[in-house]
Amino acid sequence: MNALLVVDVQNDFCPGGALAVPDGDRVVPVINRLIEHFEVVLNTQDWHPDGHHSFASSHEGKKPFDVIQVDYGDQVLWPDHCVQGSKGAAFHPDLNINASQLVLRKGFRKSIDSYSAFFENDQSTPTGLGEYLRERGITTLYVTGLAADFCVKWTVLDAIKEGFRVNVVEDAVRGIDLDGSLEQARQEMSGAGARETSSETLLHRV
């Protein structure tokens, strides 16, 4: 069984948001078209408490995009974003979430960041998504959303490690692209076994 996984299409990751991905809102109409052709649609939602450890504002003398060392390795420090209950944490208003069968909130533990929809950044604390997919008999994921070089990338890599077949819908993702991170992400995902496809290709199959 196939599922469409929509990663973090939230106001703070779209133009005008606290951590805007360039052209991030352009994925919305593409995703909405795809949703109509999937029986299973899943959404993830970045959901940080105030004062989250990944916020630059939580570290004296640090600024956004600085990198610090934490127990689980490098941590990029971000502007405050997707704070629980805020407008920035809400899904983009044009995104169709009516068909979503699961909204998985991540990043809610104050001391650890969570890019992947499968594991926290310590790579050992599961979100429960893997078991949910297996219980439902889902074997193949079509991944869309934001940002391609962070949350999408880590979700794709972990999905493959968990044994799922993964397709990245290239015109339904956008990246932040810090110092070439977008191209690096594409290479990592492809090297791990993810396939690239497009919404046009998918829509012509149905």
For residue 57, the 8-state DSSP code is G
Residue-level pLDDT at 178 = 83
What pLDDT score does 205 carry? 72
Residue 200 has pLDDT above 70, yes or no: yes
Q: What is the pTM of this model?
A: 0.95
Q: Is the pLDDT of residue 206 over 70?
A: no
Longest dimension (CA), the chain: 53
Query: For the segment 160-199, what is each residue's pLDDT rounded down to a tens digit?
Result: 999 999 999 999 999 998 889 999 999 999 999 999 999 9
Is 52 a residue whose pLDDT tops 60? yes
Domain borders along the chain are: 2-48+81-205
Helices (H), 36-162: 129-135, 151-161
pLDDT at 92 over 60: yes
**Residue 193 CA neighbour count, 13 Å, CB half:** 12
To the nearest whole number, what is the mean pLDDT of the chain? 96
Please state whether the peptide bond connecting residue 147 to the residue before it is cis, i.e. omega within 30 degrees of 0. yes
Annotated catalytic sites, by residue? 8, 106, 151
Q: In this predicted structure, what is the pLDDT of residue 186?
A: 95
pLDDT given at position 125: 92
Kindly tell me if the per-residue pLDDT of 90 is higher than 70: yes
State how far the Cα of 177 lies from the Cα of 181, in Å rounded to an integer: 5
For 2-48+81-205, CATH number?
3.40.50.850
Q: Report, as an integer, the average pLDDT of 103-129.
A: 94
Write the pLDDT tens digit of every residue in 18-39: 999 999 999 999 999 999 999 9
